[in-house]
């Protein structure tokens, strides 16, 4: 490199050095340290003690017994498999409705977006009041129908196939968390609205000339044009569902109750790190979650070739 290029390189590195230092100390070092801790017994106070793959053997047993890590894995899977598709469907529907030229459209868009910027703890407390089994507004509205769900006091699962077949299904704690997450999809709706504004009008005009009705235009024009944004929100929703923590912590008081039904993976890792002081085991769980999310993301990217249409 010429002396001038070297000076420019040094100047550029000097400008980005705060970010590089922060990335190294706050991301790369913890990443490498937790990888080592997965093979250690470590209580955050004494030095790590190497014990080999014991933590992974324990995780395998708990998955087989549907206890501990296995239970947290199921809770997170249940939350993700219901909330992520529901957020995509509801987000697209709201965006299409809010994209129509109606009077007061800006007000409606603001009202839909506002819940996504409400502080998480405050939103969780409000939902705890709304879904209170005895005093909550939701159950008061359902009482005339003879329905009184237990919500955050119940371990039942409304979308559990076995519970539906046995007639014991009912909205429980995880279903309450799903409702809470759907309440804050305003940020996804804004992205869909931006994408809808970028769809070429001549595509709709051509479809109308071919005799396509509203549903056909939505299916053959709107959805294909939105597919890259839907795919993006699907990936982001998957990652967010695995990182879901604050709401589960608040509604359960940090215990993961009732009966462990709100112990999602992030809360499980947090409890074993800082409550039970087993950072080695928690690190192993975190790396297992990382691998699961990475594999799921790769599968989604491979499957997207058949339904995501780029311009």
In a domain, 125, yes or no: no
CA 192 → CA 87, 116, 165, 232, distances in Å? 12, 15, 36, 10
* Predicted local confidence at residue 146, as pLDDT: 80
**For residue 118, what are its two tokens?**
């409400």
**98 closest CA partner among 106, 87, 90, 88:** 106
In a domain, 72, yes or no: yes
38-71 tens-digit pLDDT: 999 999 889 999 999 999 999 999 999 999 999 9
CA distance 51 to 37: 10
CA distance 63 to 70: 4
> Within the chain, how many helices (H) and strands (E) appear?
16, 2
Count: domains in the chain: 1
CATH assignment of the domain containing 75 = 1.10.3720.10
In a domain, 153, yes or no: no
Mean pLDDT of the chain: 92
In a domain, 135, yes or no: no
What is the separation, in whole angstroms, between the first and last Cα of the chain?
40
- Give the range of the structural domain holding residue 209, as residue numbers without chain letter: 25-105+184-306
In a domain, 227, yes or no: yes
**pTM of this prediction?**
0.91
CA distance 162 to 285: 28
64-107 tens-digit pLDDT: 999 999 999 999 999 999 999 999 999 999 999 999 988 888 99
In a domain, 203, yes or no: yes
Confidence of residue 159 (pLDDT cuts 50, 70, 90): confident
In a domain, 42, yes or no: yes
In a domain, 194, yes or no: yes
223-274 tens-digit pLDDT: 999 999 999 999 999 999 999 999 999 999 999 989 999 999 999 999 999 9
């Amino acid at each position: 490199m010429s002396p001038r290029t070297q000076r420019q390189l040094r100047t550029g590195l000097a400008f980005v050095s705060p970010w590089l230092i922060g990335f190294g100390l706050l991301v790369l070092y913890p990443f490498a340290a937790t990888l080592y801790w997965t093979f250690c017994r470590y209580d955050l106070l004494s030095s790590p003690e190497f014990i080999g793959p014991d933590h992974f053997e324990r995780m395998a047993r708990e998955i087989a017994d549907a206890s501990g890590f296995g239970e947290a894995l199921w809770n997170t899977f249940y939350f993700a498999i219901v909330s992520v598709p529901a957020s995509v469907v509801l987000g697209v529907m709201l965006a299409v409705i809010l994209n129509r030229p109606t009077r007061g459209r800006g007000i409606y868009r603001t009202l839909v977006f506002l819940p996504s910027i409400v502080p998480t703890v405050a939103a969780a407390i409000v939902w705890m009041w709304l879904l209170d089994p005895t005093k909550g507004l939701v159950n008061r509205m359902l009482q005339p129908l003879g329905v009184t769900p237990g919500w955050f006091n119940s371990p039942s699962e409304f979308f559990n196939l076995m519970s539906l077949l046995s007639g014991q299904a009912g909205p429980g704690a995880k279903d309450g968390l799903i409702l809470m997450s759907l309440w804050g999809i305003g940020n996804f709706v804004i992205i869909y609205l931006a994408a809808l504004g970028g769809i070429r009008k001549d595509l709709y005009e051509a479809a109308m000339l071919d005799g396509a009705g509203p549903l056909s235009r939505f299916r053959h024009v709107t959805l294909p044009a939105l597919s890259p944004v839907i795919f993006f929100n699907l990936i982001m929703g998957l990652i967010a569902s695995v990182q879901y923590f604050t709401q589960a912590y608040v509604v359960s008081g940090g215990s993961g109750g009732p009966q462990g039904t709100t112990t999602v993976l992030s809360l499980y890792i947090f409890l074993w790190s800082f409550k039970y002081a087993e950072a080695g085991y928690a690190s192993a769980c975190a790396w297992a979650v990382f691998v699961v999310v990475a594999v799921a993301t790769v599968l989604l990217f491979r499957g997207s070739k058949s339904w995501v249409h780029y311009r």
